[in-house]
Amino acid sequence: MSGVSAGAAYEAAGLKFFGLSLSGIRTAISMPEYGLSFDVAQGYPHTLRMKKFFISHGHLDHAAGIPYIISQKAMHNEPPPVFYMPPSLVEPLTDIMKLWAKIEDHTYTLRFEPVTEHTRVELSPQACVRTFKTVHRIESYGYTLFSTAKKLKPEYQHLKGPALADMQKNGEPITQAIETPLVSFTGDTQIEFLDSAPWVKKSKVLICEATYLDRVKSVEHARTWGHTHIDELIPRLDEIEAEKIVLIHASSRYSDARAAQLIREQIPERHRERVELFPGR
Ligand SMILES: [Zn+2]
Ligand SMILES: [Zn+2]
């Protein structure tokens, strides 16, 4: 299972993804249309084309590729990529980059942006990313991609064009921003992520970790290592509104076929259509 993989394309709720995820080995899921990647694994080719990187935590299977991506971008004279990350990662990663600068006799421009629970990153007038807190063995965050749109305030909806134009001319705010959660990505976390922000369960696509898919490892074991067990997820499926729940980070003890089989067998029939294993591992 830990052989060479280049990643796989995946589509859900009209959104396109490319990436791969295997517990302890690699996790990087990109959304090329948005130029972003959730985690970077070891800096796989598909991540090199992205511009903004949302790092869930500093474990090597999620973040080892950061120096390589920085160097590749510099080599191709591209603008320095931006990495959003837990605050505790900024200093050690800056130190690591200083060492690489020494090894290579080359200085890089670093753009490491620490996040908080309330970070909102504007990608464009139509999209933004917000953070949510996750629970892992080291500091960690999840990220949600939202679509944003300006809509007429409900109290003005009965008004006609000329009246609205007049109000606009007078500088009155007649619209409000509406944000719709499209994709939430958890990185590694215990089940508590589900309640850390109100929009997580409402995201159209929920990409969440389920490291353990059978009883060989217990729920306690999963929690000790800061992960989620499928036995914790199943009782909560009814409250998750997502069109698709995409499981990532399944243990490398399961082959692709075995992991898919375990999911099929255990997910209640009414949820089976919308719970899937991410195809790239
Ligand atoms: Zn991991
Ligand atoms: Zn981890």
Give tens-digit pLDDT for 254-263: 999 999 999 9
CA of 249 to the centre of ligand 1 (A): 7
Residues near ligand 2 ion, CB 5 Å cutoff: 59, 188
Question: Is a pLDDT exceeding 80 seen at residue 3?
Answer: no
Mean pLDDT of 97-111: 95
**pLDDT band at 31, cuts 50/70/90?**
very high
Torsion of Cα atoms, 244 then 250 then 255 then 257, to 10°: -20
CA of 179 to the centre of ligand 2 (A): 29
Question: Is a pLDDT exceeding 70 seen at residue 152?
Answer: yes
CA of 25 to the centre of ligand 1 (A): 7
Cβ atoms < 10 Å from Cβ of 58: 19
| Ligand having the closest approach to the CA of 190 | 2
Per residue in 41-52, pLDDT (tens digit) is 999 999 999 999
Which is nearest to 41 in space by CA: 57, 17, 52, 25? 25
Question: Is a pLDDT exceeding 80 seen at residue 120?
Answer: yes
DSSP 235: G
CA of 164 to the centre of ligand 2 (A): 52
| Ligand having the closest approach to the CA of 209 | 1
* Strand partners for 141: 133
Query: Lowest-pLDDT range, 96-105, 159-168, 185-194?
Result: 159-168
What's this model's pTM, rounded to 2 decimal places? 0.94
For the chain, list the strands marked E by DSSP: 8-12, 15-22, 26-31, 36-38, 52-54, 82-85, 112-114, 120-124, 127-133, 141-152, 175-185, 205-209, 244-248, 275-277
pLDDT above 90 coverage of the chain, percent: 88
φ, ψ of residue 31 in degrees (nearest 5): -125, 90
**pLDDT band at 172, cuts 50/70/90?**
confident
CA of 65 to the centre of ligand 1 (A): 14
| Ligand having the closest approach to the CA of 58 | 2
Report all structural domains of the chain as residue ranges with CATH numbers, in order of start: 8-277 (3.60.15.10)
Average pLDDT across the chain, whole number: 96
CA of 71 to the centre of ligand 2 (A): 24
CA of 251 to the centre of ligand 1 (A): 9
Which is nearest to 57 in space by CA: 146, 131, 122? 131
- The pLDDT score that the predictor gives to residue 215 is 95
